[in-house]
Amino acid sequence: MFKINENYLKLPGSYLFSTIGKKVREYSEAHPDKEIIRLGIGDVTQPLAPVIIEAMHKAVDEMGHQETFRGYAPDLGYEFLRDAIAEGDYRSRGCDISADEIFVSDGAKCDSGNIQEIFSEDCRIAVCDPVYPVYVDTNVMAGRTGEYDAKTGTWSNVIYMPCTADNDFSPELPKEVPDLIYLCFPNNPTGSAITKDRLQEWVDYANRNGAVIIYDAAYEAYISEESVPHSIFECSGARTCAIELKSFSKNAGFTGVRLGYTVIPRDLKCGDVSLHALWARRHGTKYNGAPYIVQRAGEAVYTEEGRKQLSAQVAYYMNNAKVIYEGLKGAGYTVSGGVNAPYIWLKTPGAMTSWEFFDYLLEKANVVGTPGSGFGPSGEGYFRLTAFGTYENTVRAIDRIKAL
C-alpha cells in the first residue's frame, strides 16, 4: 500500500493567502452590497506597461509563423534575457555576475520554494520572524523543520530571528549557526530595508560559518535610499555564500505573467560540488523554461523605454505607500516600512491580535489586509497593508480606517 509524505500533515492550516482568500470570499458572499478594498495579498493592480504589451504582441506574432516559431526554450533561459539581466541588474551596478550564472524561471515564489531541494535534509534553516510563509512551509514539506508547537507557533528545528520594533525590524546574527539563512530585503512583510554595511556583516558571518544565504530581492525596485543595496552581490565575498532570487512581479507587474530568476555564482561550493551544477540539473530535469513570449516581455523591462515606464509605475505605488503611511500615522497608528518597500507594517491598536484586527477591518471598513501573525509569532500584534492597490482605492481605504 502506498504511503504519503507525512510532512504535509504537519502543516497547520492552509497557505496563508488561501485562508485570507476564503475568509474574504465568505464575507463577500454574505454581504454582496459591501464594496471590499483589497490591500492584503501583494498583487499589483496597474496594467502592464505599453513597452511590455508591445513586446508580447510581437512575440505572439513570431509564434504564429513557421520561420519565427519557438519550441522548447533553452534550459536556463534565452540568452537575450539573461544578457539583459546580467547587464541591467548586475554589471551596471558593479556586481560580478555573468549571464550563465542566471537561471530564468516562472517566478520567485517557485524558486524560493524549490531551492531547498538541492540541500541536505539535515540542513538547519534560519528565518526572520515574521517571514514570507513559503520559506518555512516548503522546508516543512521536505522534513527539515522538526515538530510544530501550536502554542508558540514555531517549529522545533527552525532558528527564528525576531524582527520587531526593538531591533528596528532588522534581525541579529544568530548565535546557533544555521546552514541556510533566508533573508528578504526590502522585507516582506515588514517593509524594512537593510543597509549595505549591515548586509556585509551577514555575508561575512555566512562565509565564516559555512552557511548559505538565500537572498530574496523581489522588492528591490522600491529602494529609494542610497545606503540600501539592490543586490547581495554588492557585498564582497557574496559569491561564495549567496544565492539571489529576483521577481518581475513587483517591478513590472508580472504577477499574472510569471517570470523570475535565480542567481547562483559558480564560486558557491560545498567541497568540490558546485551548487550551480545542482540547480542546473534540477532546472533541466523538473522544469521546461519560461514561455518565449514572457521572456521577451522580460527583455523589454530592461530597455530604456521600459525602465522609464516602469519607474513611473513604481512611483505610483510608492505614492500609495506614502498615502497609507502618513494617513495611518496621522490617525495615531504606529507604522513602519513604506520607504524602500511597498509594504506598510502597523501595530494593531489596543490589545487586538492580528486576526482580530483583520476581522475588524474587514467588517467595519471592508478593507482587507494581512494579519502579521500569519507571517510568524513575532508578527502577532502587527498588520500588513500593501501599496499595490489603485490610488483611488488606497485613499478610500485609508479614509475608512481613519473614520473608525
C-beta of 369 vs 381, nearer to its own copies: 369
Question: Residues 215, 292, 325, 343: which binds its own copies (CB under 8 A)?
Answer: 292
Distance separating alpha carbons of residues 159 and 180, to the nearest angstrom: 10
Distance separating alpha carbons of residues 153 and 235, to the nearest angstrom: 34
> Is 404 among the residues that bind its own copies (CB under 8 A)?
no
Give the burial string for 75-105 (b: 16+ CB within 10 Å, else e). ebbbeebbbbbbebbbeeeebebebebbbbb
> Is 267 among the residues that bind its own copies (CB under 8 A)?
no
In the three-class reduction of DSSP (H, G, I as helix; E, B as strand; rest coil), residue 176 is classed as coil
Residue from 253, 269, 206, 254 nearest 232 by CA? 206
Strands 148-149 and 273-274: unpaired
C-beta of 230 vs 396, nearer to its own copies: 396
Binding mask 212-251 for its own copies (x = CB under 8 A): x---------------------------------------
Cell numbers standing for residue 37: 478594498
Binding mask 89-128 for its own copies (x = CB under 8 A): -----------------xx-xx--xx--xxxxxxx-----
Distance separating alpha carbons of residues 146 and 251, to the nearest angstrom: 36
- Contact region with its own copies (CB under 8 A), list: 147-155, 255-263, 316-324, 371-379: 255-263
C-beta of 253 vs 327, nearer to its own copies: 253
> Is 368 among the residues that bind its own copies (CB under 8 A)?
no
> Is 187 among the residues that bind its own copies (CB under 8 A)?
no
> Is 208 among the residues that bind its own copies (CB under 8 A)?
no
Question: Residues 26, 31, 69, 197: which binds its own copies (CB under 8 A)?
Answer: 69
Question: Residues 278, 331, 352, 395: which binds its own copies (CB under 8 A)?
Answer: 278
Please, what is the minimum distance in Å from the beta carbon of residue 404 to its own copies?
A: 28
Please, what is the minimum distance in Å from the beta carbon of residue 145 to its own copies?
A: 13
Beta-bridged to residue 263, according to DSSP, are 102, 244
> Is 56 among the residues that bind its own copies (CB under 8 A)?
yes
Please, what is the minimum distance in Å from the beta carbon of residue 245 to its own copies?
A: 13
Contact positions with its own copies (CB under 8 A) in 307-346? none
Question: Residues 63, 312, 315, 404: which binds its own copies (CB under 8 A)?
Answer: 63
Question: Residues 65, 226, 350, 403: which binds its own copies (CB under 8 A)?
Answer: 65
Beta-bridged to residue 347, according to DSSP, are 382
Helix ranges, 273-351 (H): 275-286, 292-301, 304-330
Residue 166: which residues within 8 A CB-CB, separation 6 or more? none
Backbone angles phi, psi at 155, to 5 degrees: -100, 140
In the three-class reduction of DSSP (H, G, I as helix; E, B as strand; rest coil), residue 103 is classed as strand
> Is 20 among the residues that bind its own copies (CB under 8 A)?
no
Q: How far is CA 141 from CA 147, 157, 181, 262, 294, in A?
A: 12, 13, 18, 21, 30
C-beta of 214 vs 346, nearer to its own copies: 214
Please, what is the minimum distance in Å from the beta carbon of residue 105 to its own copies?
A: 10
C-alpha gyration radius of the chain: 21
The upper half-sphere exposure of residue 236, i.e. CA atoms within 13 Å in the direction of its Cβ, equals 1
C-beta of 376 vs 381, nearer to its own copies: 376
Angle, alpha carbons 258-111-106 (nearest 5°)? 20
Residue 196: which residues within 8 A CB-CB, separation 6 or more? 227, 228, 229, 234, 235
> Is 275 among the residues that bind its own copies (CB under 8 A)?
yes
> Is 45 among the residues that bind its own copies (CB under 8 A)?
yes
Distance separating alpha carbons of residues 368 and 360, to the nearest angstrom: 10
Please, what is the minimum distance in Å from the beta carbon of residue 82 to its own copies?
A: 16
> Is 36 among the residues that bind its own copies (CB under 8 A)?
no
> Is 1 among the residues that bind its own copies (CB under 8 A)?
yes
